[in-house]
Amino acid sequence: MSVPLLATKFYFPPGRQNFVSRSRLIERLQQGLQCPLTLVSAPAGYGKTTLMSEWRAGVGRSIPAAWLSLDTNDDDPAHFLTCLIGALETLKPGQCEAARALLQSPQPPSGQSILTVLLNELGQSDQPSVLVLDDYHFVTAQPRAAGSRGAHLHPRAPAATDAFGSPHPHRPAFAAGPLARPQPAR
């Protein structure tokens, strides 16, 4: 059984008219395209979403990108995976069919198994793309499952890397892949 998803969860927010452009941060995001994962972290209200919107409207315009806005309803692992697949399929409809079928089966396998199938499906694409997870701090359920997500997103990341979503400095509120592994700000 398929679950209806709110389409606006997959829309990049529109750019703002009156904002301070952050060209240095946009440049760092561009550099991150050479790496598997970039984490953008700042306290609430510091403009993480605005930064990603500015990147998308400017230099990121030519790069296939998917957006997923997360909220407290996405804390359930099955719902999170459903939304994740929905976001990824905005890039290429049907590219995640096997993972979706597993997730919707009467006896779904573990999240780890579904993620493995999903990553194998994504690995068949010859076109690089970016996935932005906005407000990832809302996804806190099942620490073991969350740890496996982090390992899949960046296999060499330390265990704490999975905590990439919150308005707290040690838990970034954005994960954008295949952008880069976090580095200290200069």
Task: Quote the domain boundaries for residue 163.
Answer: 7-95+128-177
Phi and psi based region of residue 47 (left: phi greater than 0; alpha: psi -120 to 50; beta: remaining): left
Question: What is the overall mean pLDDT for the chain?
Answer: 75
Number of domains observed in the structure of the chain: 1
Asked whether residue 183 is assigned to any structural domain, the reply reads: no
Asked whether residue 73 is assigned to any structural domain, the reply reads: yes
φ/ψ of 174, rounded to 5, equals -135, 140
Asked whether residue 166 is assigned to any structural domain, the reply reads: yes
Asked whether residue 119 is assigned to any structural domain, the reply reads: no
Asked whether residue 105 is assigned to any structural domain, the reply reads: no
CA 73 to chain centre: 16
Asked whether residue 2 is assigned to any structural domain, the reply reads: no
Tens digits of residue pLDDT in 58-80: 888 888 889 999 888 888 888 99
Asked whether residue 171 is assigned to any structural domain, the reply reads: yes
Listing DSSP states for 75-131 in one string gives GSHHHHHHHHHHHHTTTSTTTTHHHHHHHHSSS---HHHHHHHHHHHHHT-SS--EE
Listing DSSP states for 36-90 in one string gives S-EEE---TTSSHHHHHHHHHHTGGGGS-EEEEE--GGGGSHHHHHHHHHHHHTT
Asked whether residue 116 is assigned to any structural domain, the reply reads: no
Highest mean pLDDT among 14-18, 45-49, 54-58, 101-105: 101-105
